Structure 1
């Protein structure tokens, strides 16, 4: 990663979504040094992360200080659903005792809505919105192929480790009811930009992403729920 960063010009933003990625990003900052390297930690699921990265990579250097606000704005508008062959190892949201027991019967499948915090029997349908659609799934199908094919053609599918969910068969899909571009534009143009006292860069979040100094007069934002990987956004 250090070689990749050194090969880039201008300011660089490292983005992580789990503790391993966070440690790698921090080590890279120490190895590279200087003040052009920023780090943003965004705990989220893989499909959510794909949407966030897709927008952050398009930010200009001047707008990079708004990265955290953009990520939080996008996550707030997302709906992430899972279809799992078992919820026995699911802790958030928590399944009922009956659902936990049913997980040990092979035909059982469950629909988990991470945004609503609900677990229900899967009824062979997915209520997916029309923007920011990202899909990930296990190699063993948990839903009929035609169900995936009926999803909007604008969907993007990403590959993640089989171990992303503690179930033999699973599907994860994130969608939004508004365009990620519109959310990003709204955040960047409606937020209150403040200059960092240490490096002079403008930012929208409570802490400067480059020098990690608290920005004056910006309230701290709540952390978004969690989980795996790291990325480099230029």
Structure 2
């Protein structure tokens, strides 16, 4: 018996016509001449645009050098009143070298950590895969220095380190060329936030309530 599905598919095949003998590859089948960015920027302009857009999304943006990074991370943890911190297993050790051991308990990303363990962790420090200037977005892909996705979603405070200029891209189309599609991607534009039907903004619902974006200029 012919089903409705069969009828619909038959009509589609009829409309498409017989297959061509030499179909072009998918990436060449359609001419894509659209622009991949809205402007040509210098690395300094790209970094400034990222910082402005992250600030618009209520992230706290900080600028430092590689030498100043450990002291800045220690200060941000102290300002937040953090007593516990979780980090990826492959986070560069010197990033945490200025944290007083007596002040902060440092936990490393471990598959055996429970959701309760993560929920009682004050802060998380990670790197990122890249950042997108035009949208003010940080992208994580569980790559080096990032750990599992859950450690950046449950703790209330996220310190994320972005290296400028090589990790900052102008636009999403340009950034996608540098991401592995087989990895899980988390796109962060400011602290987690949502609004109800009355447009009352609530932060910290789907992720960290506070985002400190640290831009390290090489």
Q: What interval of TM-score do these two structures reach, taking the shorter chain for normalisation? A: under 0.3
Q: Which has the higher contact order (CA 8 A, sep 6+)?
A: 1
TM-score normalised to structure 2 length: 0.24
TM-score normalised to structure 1 length: 0.22
